[in-house]
Each structure stands twice: as C-alpha cells, then as structure tokens.
A and B are shown apart, each in its own frame.
Chain A
C-alpha cells in the first residue's frame, strides 16, 4: 500500500445557496437558507411542498453546456458538468474546448448519484415508448442517461483517461465518491481524481420519500424554517438538489505545478452496520457508525481531541440524536469537551446523493478560512442532544476566526451505509512544528 498524501486543489458547487463557489461561500458566512416553496409540489399534492432548488443558469460554467452539446442531457449530467468544470478551473487546470488535447492517463473521475438520471425517463424515454416514436429518440439518449453519464461526459470534455466510474450508496454517495477517489490516489493508481455527487429535482425522484413520510410536512408555509437539524421541532428532512465536485490530487504533484491547496484528506472510511443490531434498511446501526468513525480516525493518525469540528450528516430527523450520541461515544468527548458540530442541511436542505460532496466542500472552506458556519433553527435544541453536548458547541451564528485543525465529515445512507472523512488544515503541521 502506497500511502501518498492527497489534497483538495479545486472545488465546484451547484447548490440551493449558490450556483458557484463564491456565492456558496458567502451564504455559509451569512448563514443564508436556500429552501423555498415549490409550486409543482403543491400542484402534485405532495405532503412536503418545500425544497432546495438550484439555479443552473447562474453557474459560471453554464455556457459550456452549449459548447459541449449537452443542452438535451439529463440534469444529472448538466449539474455535474458545470460543477466539475468549475472545480477544474478552480484547480487552475486547462479546458481544451476543441477536444484535441492529449489523453490524461493520470486523471480519473468518479461521480455518484443516489437517484440518477430519471428526468430522461420521465421526459423523453417513457413518452417515446408510449407514443410508439422510439425511432425519433435521439442517438444521445443513452450517453445522456446512463448511470456513468456524468463521468463519461466530463471525461470526454477533459480527455480523462484513468479510472472513469460511477458510485451509489443513497445519501452517503457524495462522501463515498470522495473516499473512493482518495483511496485511488493513495494507492498510486492515479495522481488526480475529479470526484463528487449529484442529485436532481424531479417529482418522480422525490415522490418515494414523500410516501415514506420521511420529509417534513409541518413547514409548507414557512419554507425557511423547515430544515431544523438537532432541533426538538425537527420533523423530517427537506429534499434538495445539487452537485458538489472536487479535484483531489497527489500532494507532490500539486506542489510541483503550484496548485492551490485547500485542505488535505487524511482519512476516509466506508462501512455498514450490516442492517443488524438496531441498523435497518433505513436506520443506521450505532455500532456500525462508531466503527466507521474509529476506522477513519485510526487511518488519519489524529488524536480524537484534535477534531475541532464535526460537519454532521444531521438531516433534521429523529436520527440526529443518535448521530450526536455516536460521535460522543466514538470520540469519548461530551458536554463542553465535545467538538463544535454543525449541519449544512439547515441551510441547503438534504441534497441526497450530492449532500456528502457539497458538505465536504463547505467543510474544506471552513478549514481553509477558519470559520464555522451557522447551524440554524436549533435554538430549541433537542433535549436528548442537550444531555450529550453543551449548547455552546453548536454555532447558532457564524463563528469567525476559530482555529480549525481537523474536521470530521460524516454521511449516512439507506442500506445502513456510512462514510466518514477526516480533513486536515494543510498549514497545521507547520504550525505544530513551530
């Protein structure tokens, strides 16, 4: 096993709180919530009629969709391409619009999605079958809808020629893609990986969650109040769409080309509780989560007391209490000794398969800029959480100029899937040496 160091050198994001990295960062600083009432959901009589939508046209990379002939593609492809190219630009890597650059054998891509390209089925494929007009389906139907479509199209644009893949593990998908890319570089199989997660709004994609009653129905007329992670009045998650993409790079390579270095990924763990011992298809096993946290910590060689912030999964459901308890058990820290903890979902809603990637980008920004974004709407902290941690460890407002050395990022998904990442402030080791 080749233990090469892996750093984040570029990020791109399309989210309910910003269609580009700068706007997203501003929203984090200001604690801006992007959840709105969605009229389509009212019309369709959804129980939950609020959600987080993105403004694709506002992405700085939106014009590339026309350049690369992707105007008819699934939104999964469009979101991943604009966020992926923003990340690529952000990493100061070139985009050859004529596609005649050399294949890049050292760079691969993994994009994930929990729900996938079902807009193509809803809008194009099923109507053509029903109308018996399959002959008029465009030749791009498959390349715009296959599960690897986002990866394949980004690879096409950039000439990526290392591993080109797709991953899916429900709501841990985005964090999983990062960990898979991280491991691929660590093992010496690639020097650079473009990774991330994407999920899009469609009525069909969200209907099943609505039917399960796992989304909130209490705040249809107060969308800004709807996502309340860690609150006593949390009543289900708020569905959202989005995409987060990151350029991961082998440390020496990044240094050699003078790349911007945002943070180091020092550990990542993927596991499951086996859907036993309290774990089910839809609920995490505490034992599985704790094992996942411990494995990530162990790989990172970090002391549990060095974790300054937990960027939680915390989706505004009853599972928030269990998550806080699991962190407390795994880190042996509680009360005022507990790290800071926040939930991006209080601002964005739950971006399903994109959530782990978007939240990792938020974590990297916090680590780089040394602030902690607000975790809003939990002034009425859940009493069971209050028993575990001190209220002051939850930033109800943005906390600036907070020294952050390590952030732990978690994502959990249906199927009892767990993902935990440990991110390190790249300047920390130099500070420690001084």
Chain B
C-alpha cells in the first residue's frame, strides 16, 4: 500500500472530522464513520475530493462500499493503475 496515497487520503478525511484529536492515534484501518466520527453524509464530499485529487471517477455503486480507510485507498490504487 502506497504511504503517500494513505497520507493524502487521511488529510482529506481530516477536513470532515470535527474532533481532529482522533487523528493523533489512528487505528490501523479506521472505520470512517465509527472511528473517525465523520458524518456518513460526508462520504459524498470525500468522493468528490478523491476524484479531483487523483483525477479518477468513482461510481455511485462504489461509493456505498467505502467503509474503512483502506477501502478508499484500495479503490484509488485500482483506478489509478487502470
């Protein structure tokens, strides 16, 4: 897994968390809603940010599968390769 991609995604996610202290001690693969306390509605914005940042397109179906940090990273790596 690309550490740069991971850090960039974490930075994107951070924008949507009110309690930024959570990011000081992140679990290995945090659940976006439960662990990061990000409102589930914000996934739409996270997808827009990811699309713009990595110049990819994410389908609505794919959005529903984004539950953990690694889901986003895996999707980005898959899309960037293809």
B15-58 interface with A by 8 A CB criterion? 15-16, 18-19, 21, 37, 41-45, 48
In the complex, which residues of chain A have a beta carbon less than 8 angstroms from the beta carbon of B43?
Answer: 139
Whether, in the assembled complex, A1 has its beta carbon less than 8 Å from a beta carbon of chain B, the answer is: no
Instruction: Please give the distance in Å from B22's CB to the nearest CB on chain A.
Output: 9
Whether, in the assembled complex, A67 has its beta carbon less than 8 Å from a beta carbon of chain B, the answer is: yes
Instruction: Please give the distance in Å from B60's CB to the nearest CB on chain A.
Output: 9
Instruction: Please give the distance in Å from A39's CB to the nearest CB on chain B.
Output: 33
Whether, in the assembled complex, A69 has its beta carbon less than 8 Å from a beta carbon of chain B, the answer is: yes
A386 to B59, CA, bound (A): 72
In the complex, which residues of chain B have a beta carbon less than 8 angstroms from the beta carbon of A140?
Answer: 41-42, 45
A258 to B48, CA, bound (A): 49
Instruction: Please give the distance in Å from A86's CB to the nearest CB on chain B.
Output: 19
A76-104 interface with B by 8 A CB criterion? 97-100
- The number of chain B residues with a CB under 8 A from chain A is 12
| A139 x B44 contact (CB < 8 A) | yes
| B16 x A138 contact (CB < 8 A) | no
A290 to B19, CA, bound (A): 52
| A138 x B44 contact (CB < 8 A) | yes
A129-185 interface with B by 8 A CB criterion? 136, 138-140, 143
Whether, in the assembled complex, A68 has its beta carbon less than 8 Å from a beta carbon of chain B, the answer is: yes
Bin chain A's interface residue count. Answer: 10 to 19
| B19 x A98 contact (CB < 8 A) | yes
| A98 x B44 contact (CB < 8 A) | no
A136 to B44, CA, bound (A): 9
Instruction: Please give the distance in Å from B35's CB to the nearest CB on chain A.
Output: 14
A100 to B41, CA, bound (A): 19
| A69 x B16 contact (CB < 8 A) | yes
| B18 x A99 contact (CB < 8 A) | yes
A193 to B58, CA, bound (A): 44
In the complex, which residues of chain B have a beta carbon less than 8 angstroms from the beta carbon of A100?
Answer: 19
Of chain A, the residue at the smallest CB distance from B37 is A99
In the complex, which residues of chain B have a beta carbon less than 8 angstroms from the beta carbon of A139?
Answer: 41-45
> Which one of A99, A136, A138, A143 lies within 8 Å of B19 (CB-CB)?
A99
| A98 x B48 contact (CB < 8 A) | no
In the complex, which residues of chain B have a beta carbon less than 8 angstroms from the beta carbon of A138?
Answer: 44-45, 48
Instruction: Please give the distance in Å from A82's CB to the nearest CB on chain B.
Output: 17
| A98 x B21 contact (CB < 8 A) | yes
How would residues 325 to 361 of chain A score, 1 for a CB under 8 Å from any chain B CB and 0 otherwise?
A: 0000000000000000000000000000000000000
A167 to B16, CA, bound (A): 30
Which of A's residues lie within 8 Å of B, judged by CB? 67-69, 97-100, 136, 138-140, 143
- 27 A-B contacts, Cβ less than 8 Å apart? A67-B18, A68-B18, A69-B15, A69-B16, A69-B18, A97-B18, A97-B19, A98-B18, A98-B19, A98-B21, A99-B18, A99-B19, A99-B37, A100-B19, A136-B48, A138-B44, A138-B45, A138-B48, A139-B41, A139-B42, A139-B43, A139-B44, A139-B45, A140-B41, A140-B42, A140-B45, A143-B41
Additional A-B contacts beyond A68-B18, A143-B41 (8; CB < 8 A): A69-B16, A69-B18, A97-B18, A100-B19, A138-B48, A139-B42, A139-B45, A140-B42
